[in-house]
Amino acid sequence: MRRWRRRWGALRHHRWQGVLAAAAMAAAVALPVVLLSVGGGVADHEIRALQTSGYQITVSAAGQHGIEGTHALGARLLSIANVAQVSPVLSLAIDAFPSGGTPTPVLAEGVVPGPFGETLGPDESGLFPHPLPFSDPTDLVHYDNGSYAGTPDLQVMVAGPLASAVGLTVGSTLPLGATTDPNRSVPFTISGTFGVPRSAIGPAAAFAIVLPLSELQQLVGLGRDPVTGALVDASDTIDIALAGAAATDPTAVDQAASAITAIAPYYSVDALTQQAAQLGQTAAVLTGFYLALSSVGLSVGLVFLALVLVRQVETDRRLIGIRRALGVPARQIAVGWLRTSLVLTGSGVVAGIAGGWAIVSYLARYGQGSVATAAQLAVFDPLTLGLLALGILGLGAVASLAATRRALRLPIWEVLR
């Protein structure tokens, strides 16, 4: 130990140059580590959510001209081969009146309770009670045979954050309305609560409610046209789950999607496998962008490293001259500078990865909102980080070339004068 301390003492003039070069490399490496781990983690999470979703195909037509005749269309879709569940959803912003007359905007999701519960993915299913606490799992009591003649249950589930924020409990009443006028609201009974899924790129839906589809349609005037009285029975999305092995067979998924398109050619039909593939391609493009962005910092770090190495050649010109005078081959001198560069680059890479990990951990713990969520989803993939480290070490080797060239061009007789 004493011996190494003495050796280290003799390197006093190099110490801070080396520390600064390694620090510059660490700062340059930390950026891609953060970008790749967080970006990759979020993309992986979203792709996995698509791949493990409880449904494989979506039919969608959002807005005023959304899907019409939802219940009848659902029955037709169920007749397609391999289709096991059809879950229509109507998503709208409406007003709730939790404390008498004050309206609170909420995201309302009208669903058919049974199929909705069956088409939840693994991440979501843990957030909802099973089965959903609605007295009509088929949504066919209020809506039946193209009419709304039945008696509505007027039950609603509220998201946990909404219940906490406005003091709602199971069993209490929550008036809901299509307008901010409390006099036109309808009192619903809270039959349960549900959690909010973690998502970094989708809406958090913290203030959300879930209620039977036909009751939401009637509440907002999308059951029947309020003027003509014609049946509308609107939704904006229909999630379709396939049965058994067909759910994971891309060919079966594509065949089912084609059959659905044939029945409803005017709606958008998407297979989640395609969405996952598109998201994967987008993630790959983003990874390239992250690397391009990081290359700016890495270039600065490597230029700094090269300058430090050239500076060290100038500082060590006499020692280099001695070695060359003694006959040390050029190859060994080049290897020496390569080793120095790799040690500094390697130190920077290790420190940069540790620094990137520390930044992401800090954001995951103390960050706010989607920043914290994204940081929590970060993935430190050993293969990605290993390739990144190898690439940077390769560039570090290139950075040593300037120093090596300078060292081998020093006139020996002059530096030993």
Partner 1 sequence: MIDPVPSVLVRDVTKRYAAGGAEEVRALSGVDLDLPPASFVSVEGPSGCGKTTLLNLLGLLDEPSAGTISWDGHAMAGLGERERSRLRLRNIGFIFQRFYLVPTMTASENVELPMRAAGVGATVRRARARELLGEVGLGPKADRFPHELSGGEEQRVAIARALANGPGLLLADEPTGELDTANTEAILDLLVGIQAREGRTLVLVTHNPKVAQRARRHLTMQDGRIVRDSDAPEA
Report in angstroms how near the CB of residue 319 gets to partner 1 at its nearest. 6
Report in angstroms how near the CB of residue 3 gets to partner 1 at its nearest. 7
Q: How far is CA 327 from the centre of its chain?
A: 59
Count of residues touching partner 1 (by CB under 8 A): 23
For the CA atoms of 167, 169, 175, 178, the dihedral, rounded to the nearest 10 degrees, stands at: 80
Q: Nearer Cβ to partner 1, position 65 or 417?
A: 417
d(Cα 287, Cα 307) in Å, to the nearest integer?
29
Report in angstroms how near the CB of residue 374 gets to partner 1 at its nearest. 47
d(Cα 55, Cα 33) in Å, to the nearest integer?
34
| 3 part of the interface to partner 1, by CB under 8 A | yes
Q: 325: how many CB neighbours lie within 10 A of its CB?
A: 12
Cα Rg of the chain, angstroms: 32
Report in angstroms how near the CB of residue 411 gets to partner 1 at its nearest. 8
Quick one: which of 184, 318, 339, 405 contacts partner 1 (CB under 8 A)? 318
Name residue, tokens 């570090």.
396
Report in angstroms how near the CB of residue 413 gets to partner 1 at its nearest. 4
Q: Nearer Cβ to partner 1, position 2 or 65?
A: 2
Single out the segment in contact with partner 1 by CB under 8 A; choices: 65-73, 207-215, 318-326, 354-362: 318-326
Q: Nearer Cβ to partner 1, position 29 or 410?
A: 410
Q: Nearer Cβ to partner 1, position 259 or 408?
A: 408
Q: Nearer Cβ to partner 1, position 203 or 411?
A: 411
Report in angstroms how near the CB of residue 339 gets to partner 1 at its nearest. 14
Report in angstroms how near the CB of residue 417 gets to partner 1 at its nearest. 8
DSSP 247: G
Q: Nearer Cβ to partner 1, position 226 or 327?
A: 327
DSSP 288: H
Single out the segment in contact with partner 1 by CB under 8 A; choices: 48-56, 123-131, 278-286, 405-413: 405-413
d(Cα 148, Cα 217) in Å, to the nearest integer?
10
| 5 part of the interface to partner 1, by CB under 8 A | no
Single out the segment in contact with partner 1 by CB under 8 A; choices: 56-64, 240-248, 337-345, 409-417: 409-417
Q: Which two tokens stand for residue 72?
A: 């009848």
Name residue, tokens 């409880």.
54
Q: Nearer Cβ to partner 1, position 166 or 408?
A: 408
Is residue 171 classed exposed, middle or buried when 0-12, 13-18 and 19+ CB atoms within 10 A define those classes? exposed
- Which stretches of 264-381 are DSSP H helices? 272-315, 317-326, 330-366, 369-376
Q: How many CA atoms lie within 13 A of 80 on its CB side?
A: 26
Q: How far is CA 203 from the centre of its chain?
A: 12
Single out the segment in contact with partner 1 by CB under 8 A; choices: 122-130, 155-163, 239-247, 407-415: 407-415
Report in angstroms how near the CB of residue 327 gets to partner 1 at its nearest. 3
CB 97 within 8 A of CB 177: yes
Report in angstroms how near the CB of residue 401 gets to partner 1 at its nearest. 17
Contacts 24+ apart (CB under 8 A), 161-164: 161/196, 161/206, 161/207, 162/106, 162/206, 162/207, 162/208, 162/209, 163/190, 163/193
Quick one: which of 206, 247, 393, 412 contacts partner 1 (CB under 8 A)? 412
- Positions in 319-378 near partner 1 (CB under 8 A): 319, 322-330, 332
Q: 232: how many CB neighbours lie within 10 A of its CB?
A: 18
Q: Which of 346, 337, 329, 343 is nearest to 405 (CA)?
A: 337
| 184 part of the interface to partner 1, by CB under 8 A | no
Query: Residues interacting with partner 1, by CB under 8 A?
Result: 3, 6-7, 10-11, 318-319, 322-330, 332, 408, 411-413, 416-417
